[in-house]
Structure 1
Amino acid sequence: MAISAANAPTNLAVNPSSNTINEFSFTWQTPSFYLGNPGGINYCWTVNEAIDVDGANCNWTGAGITQLANGPYATQQGVNTLYLAAKDDSGNFDGTQFTSVNFTASTAAPGVPQNLDISDVSTRATSTWKLAMSWSVPTQVGAGIAGYRVYRSTDNSTFTQVGSTSADNLSFIDSGLSQTDYYYNVKACDNAGSCSIASTVASKRPTGRFTEPANLVTGPVVSNLSTRKATVSWTTDRDSDSKVAFGTASGQYQAEEVANSTQTPDHTINLTNLQPGTQYFYVAKWTDQDGNTGTSAEKSFTTAPAPTVSEVNVTGLGVSNATINFTTKNAAKVKLYYGLSDGFGGVKTINTSTEESQYSLPIDGLSDGTKYFYKINPIDSDGNEYDANMYSLTTPARPRISNLRFQSVDGEPSSTLKVTWNTNVPATSRISYGPSPQDQEEAIDSKLVAEHELIIRGLADDTDYTLTAESRDAAGNVAVSDLQKFHTALDTRPPKISDVTIETGLRGSGAESRGQIIISWRTDEPSTSQVAFGQGQTGELGSKTPEDGRLTTEHVVIVSDLPTSSIYRVQALSRDKADNQSNADAQSAIIGRGADNIFSIIFNALQKIFGLGQN
């Protein structure tokens, strides 16, 4: 019995029927006739091509599935057709039993591919000519990029598609070419067949690549050899760049090569910053435009020895000058650096013979008592300077005055000033001072000291003074300070009274006798003389002698014509020229009778004072 295949599926529908993006879904129902279980039916579908009778071009849904999920089914712009047929669970299938539905896609094309570039990847040795294209993704992808189409032209007018790539493949190799100019552009296309406009055109003629380096014709050889540099030269049979690898051990070269990128058959490399008197090993290298590198056999050379300075010494050292003596060898010139630190500051340069020779360089304008650093750097014939050892010298010191200071001395009877200063070497002390340049006094101390102190007394109060300090060392070198100015203070201190002595006496006898008191004292500055006095042991000092206006430090005042047989209180008074007055402590003085003894005098005086023995 003949077995029939299932009929076409029924009620095939698409959603949506038209779309601006490539997204559609499909549903259907089981055929009107089939054998077996409906859940075992598998469905074949194609888009824009009829289903083969044997189903060779089918896309299968899987058993029992009656829909196609939302997806990009359109393969061209405009009307597309989906074809659908069924195969029952026994495997019976007839591609002519199908149903179909139309749907329309109108998608936005992607943007233009960017940065199209062409490289020649031909092999010249085998005459295999081919070009490699590469590009970047468009800045606008539209509905999505499904792939790229590559177009070629030989006249930059008519372009023909020569290949395509997937969305993630941004390169293409076009082979089987000839040695002629080719022009290319690229289009980006989505999965609905909507393509961008063509990219900008890029062109190239395949010329091929060398696979072997150029041949070495001559060299390498070394010339212009000196202490710090050398020139390496060689030639090749075609253009290449130039490189030299070198080092101080055979086969062990510095990581960085000296290179010149110019393509030429005549090669020259200058090596600089070499170490003097050193053997170097080197190889020459050259690379053509196709990246093929040739290398010479290893060779070596030795740089010239460095210039030297020796036998350095100093003569003629003075307070401001010195002479530096030295011997040079292999030097074209030398530089003498000198200064107060290892930064120097002064420099002298002289030309020298490259033969071993002796030289002397004077330096002046130095400061006395100062340590100087110096070094003598030799310079070779190429102008390279070599750092030499550093030396030092110290010039003899002149006396120098520092920290000149003035300090008032308290407790002195007149304005007194202590002057101090320092010198860097032991020296004498001398100051000249006065209220004017024409009225100067001096204070001198001949001891040789580094810390100086002189005290000047008897200065006028409230007066402007000028002062200079001077020190002379043992060698007779003199240091003089700048002119200094100071002003003495007002005198507010009263004179100090000391050594007060009181003596009493009588003039006459009996009832006619009169007493007198002689008071003497000293002051520590010139002052006037006056005595205040009063009768009685505790009486007021209501009387004063006339003031003696003479200014003196030795004072004597006589209080006379005093009643006898009395006790008196007396007080010495002195006033200095600034009108500052000092009062001594009050003391008692006893004047007796002319004929009485001392005990009677004391008794009678006490009787008058205290009323003793009176009724």
Structure 2
Amino acid sequence: MNFAIAKQYFFSRFTLFCFAFLLSFFAFNFAEAQLFNSSSYEVIQPVVNTSQTGSSASFQVTSSITQINVFPTDLNGPTISGVHAPVVSSASAEVKWVTNIVASSTLSWGTTSGVYTNATSSSAMTIEHALMMGSLSESTIYYYKVTSYDALGNASTSDNGGAGFSLTTSASSQTTTTSGGGGTRTVYFGDPTSPIIGTIDVTNITSSTATISFTTSKHTNEVVQYGIGNATDFTAGKTDIFQKVHTVTITNLATSTEYTFKVKALDIFGFSNQSTNLTFKTTVTGGPTSTPVSFQTTEVTERLSDTDNSTIQKFSSAVKVAPLTFVTSAIQAFLSAIADNPVSKDVNTESFTAAVSEAASKIVSTPKITEVDVALLPDAHSVVISWSTDKKADSLVAFSKWSDYKPGKENPYSITAGFPDEQTVSHKVTLENLESNTLYHFQTRSKSLLGPVALSGDKTFTTLSLIPQISNVKFTAINDNSASVEWETNLPTKNSISITNNRTGKEQRKDDISFLKIHQIDLKDFTPGTAYTLRLKAIDESGKVSFPSILPFTTAMSTTPPKISQVRITASLVPDQLDTVQTIVSWKTDKPATSQVFYGEGVAKILKQSTTLDYSLVTDHIVITTALKPGQVYQVQARSGDSQDHKSQSDSYTTLTPKPKQSAIDLIFKNLDSTFGFLKF
């Protein structure tokens, strides 16, 4: 490449670089100008970051405010999605939803579609929303809707097309299961009773099989123990499926033989029950099916002893099932998997036998629970409990408040929560709706597909102390120069209120020093048609401060002139200047307005003289003038105009200005002059 070509190549590349740089520079400055030329901005702390396009831009600054959210000036409310009720009990329900930008939360509900008689809300600006419906009736259908306001006051409501979303509360002490983004989550609202076993039926009795059916009063597993004579050495059933209607088929039975059996049921809390020993007899080979046998509840149910109850944990995963069918299918699946593995041909017999023995013992062994950890959440009502197991198992946490913990009982915990359908080695369960600053006992529980349940030892945690929270903030009135606000706090608090004029940046503060839970305040001296930002902070009696609640609002445009009242006129002589009168005119207006006084000598109807217009917008007005002459009658009138130039004037008032007092010599000369007139020139 010669020099000319190299030079041409260099300049072409350099030109392209400069063009790209200038394009980027102007694009950045144009975007920056567009951003800061907008007429409405909102600064909020703390910042909730979001990845949603068009929601809020977050950037660092060097002032004392560490982050700024700039909200676009639009009229569209936040986009609401994912409305669902993940937890429903007999007396309460939790509702969650998501918005594309930070927004407040309001939940409304009632027992009639489209009619919402109850509501709760939170002014916290967030993307993920969660509120509780409380004081519900059991086994009742409720309809609900959710509403969120963005920082500009734009609202969006999600109500399932007007019909409302619906949920049904459970019966008292019943299990509620829902599905969400994290899989199936089951919460058990304490049922510390043993299951009741209903009528037991033995049907389809042949020479080698029999079907045993029964029902239970609550969700339990299903186990049938059976044997010849009085022995019940064999076990059939499912220990990992919990339901109320149960059917267990026993196979590979001997012909024309009487069998003894009993059914057992274990719920997720560890409460169990079993029947008494019952019997049936198989038929001869090739003979007809035997007549079904039915056993009533009063004949079959007996409470498990403490010894039997400890044993039930063992038979929950025992593999002493009807041997031929189970073992044959398991061996076939195992051998098929081995045959498909390309490295199996290189494994010697001893290693293979040792590996199979180790795997077999691990399959039915109890999972080992390790690394139990508790993370306290800042809302003071929730914790996240996590742990690990050496093999896949489900995730359950049994827990109780300290006052409900019963260490002497077989199950000392009143509530169990978690994910019974998942199988994982890393476990995480969130416990919600806890009391703040309260000691709780808990136990982690994990059960694999085969084998008994693993239980950790009893552990404790104490929830965080509650901080003040502001909710249900609403304006009960917004006028052109005043506003009224109401809100609630979860604790008795005093409050700090600041109102900022978004145009001028001027801030006014007001403190409410009464420690209350329901608050109301009247604010005034606003400019009509002006955007303001209201910030509330709650402080409890121990000095804890809430997160700020931030509400933008705009005062109404003025449509009426200010109303003038309480006009007062005072005139007096100025000391040492007896020919000068000082006149003070004062009055009040119902809104901030300007001040000016018009006057005229005598009884003139048109007042042509006036003081200089005072443009200060105030409600208490004072005008002082020395333009009036001593000893004269004047007509005086007060006039005011608001920020929108709506003007008003008072009635005209008649006033007599004072005149200087005369001495005795002055009176003599005046009388002589009036009598003889010789003093006139």
- Tell me whether the two structures share a fold, i.e. TM-score over 0.5: no
Q: TM-score, normalised by structure 2?
A: 0.34
| Higher radius of gyration, 1 or 2 | 1
More strand by share: 1
Q: TM-score, normalised by structure 1?
A: 0.37
